[in-house]
Structure 1
Amino acid sequence: MYYNCSIVDDEQHAIEALNDYIKEIHFLKVTNVFNNPLDALKTIGNGEKVDFLFLDIDMDGMAGTELSKRLREKARFVIYASSNLEHEVRMLDSSYECYLGKPISMKRFASTIETIVRLNNLPIAN
């Protein structure tokens, strides 16, 4: 059993870092990666529900906060991965589950995922 993850970020190095971190957590799997928020809106909006949606804030075409609002019903958990300050993000969108400040460490990433899983009593199969 795994939880599917989608990454939306316009910076390739950020996508690669999140992809690597997700691979380290045995119950997570990357199912979609987008460097364009409009492509993410179309694909995720017309597809299956996403367990973890990782979003950057500042992207060309659409801000991550706007994308989150449009995909909220399709995403179980929204996690912003951004270099914006968290209090700025909270003023734009208070409905997300977590904020990861860039650059993101593996320790912080793993701790965040473990907290979300624990607080929501999600099953984890080894």
Structure 2
Amino acid sequence: MYYSCAIVDDEQHAIDVLHDYIAGIRFLKLFSAFNNPFDALKTISAGDKIDFLFLDIDMDGMKGTELSQHLRSKARFVIYASAQLENEVRKIDSCFECYLGKPISMKRFADTINKLIRLNNLPINN
């Protein structure tokens, strides 16, 4: 069993880092990565189910907090990955599961994923 992940960030470097971290955890699989929030809205359809949705907050055209409102029903967990302070993000959107401050370390990434899996009693079978 794999848990699907999607990344939406307007910085390619940030996408690359998260992609590498996802590839480094055996039970995660990248569903899609988008450098434009509008592309994510067009591509992720009602039938898609994303387990972990990683969103940047400060993107051109649409903030990650707004995109989250559109995609929340398609994602089990929303994880903001941002250089903004977590308290500032909570004032904008208090309905997210986790926050990863940039730059993101592999340890913090893995700990966050494992915590969400453990707290929600999700299976890891492979």
**Fold shared per TM-score above 0.5:** yes
TM-superposed CA distance for 1:43, in Å, is 1.2
Q: Does the Cα contact within 8 Å between 2:46 and 2:74 map onto a contact in 1?
A: no
Q: What percent identity do the matched residue pairs reach?
A: 73
Q: Does the Cα contact within 8 Å between 1:45 and 1:71 map onto a contact in 2?
A: no
In structure 2, runs of 5+ residues without a counterpart are none
TM-superposed CA distance for 1:47, in Å, is 4.2
Distance in 2 of aligned mates of 1:31 and 1:48: 10
Q: Does structure 1 residue 20 correspond to structure 2 residue 20?
A: yes
Amino acid at match of 2:73: E
Moved over 3 A (4+): none
Distance in 1 of aligned mates of 2:124 and 2:88: 33
- CA-atom RMSD, angstroms? 0.8
In structure 1, runs of 5+ residues without a counterpart are none
Normalised by the length of structure 1, the TM-score is 0.97
Please list the CA deviations of residues 26-77 of structure 1 after superposition, one character each: whole Å capped at 9, or x if unmatched. Answer: 0000010000001101111444111100000000110000000111111100
Pairing 1:30-41 to 2, within 5 Å after superposition:
30-41=30-41
Q: Match of 1:31, SS? A: strand
Pairing 1:18-97 to 2, within 5 Å after superposition:
18-97=18-97
Q: Match of 1:122, SS? A: coil
Normalised by the length of structure 2, the TM-score is 0.97
Q: Does the Cα contact within 8 Å between 1:83 and 1:102 map onto a contact in 2?
A: yes
Amino acid at match of 1:7: I
Q: How many residues in Structure 1 have an aligned counterpart in Structure 2? A: 126
Q: Match of 1:117, SS? A: helix
Distance in 2 of aligned mates of 1:70 and 1:7: 15
Cα distance, 1:43–1:33 mapped onto 2, change above 3 Å = same
- 1:99 — aligned with what? 99
Amino acid at match of 1:61: G
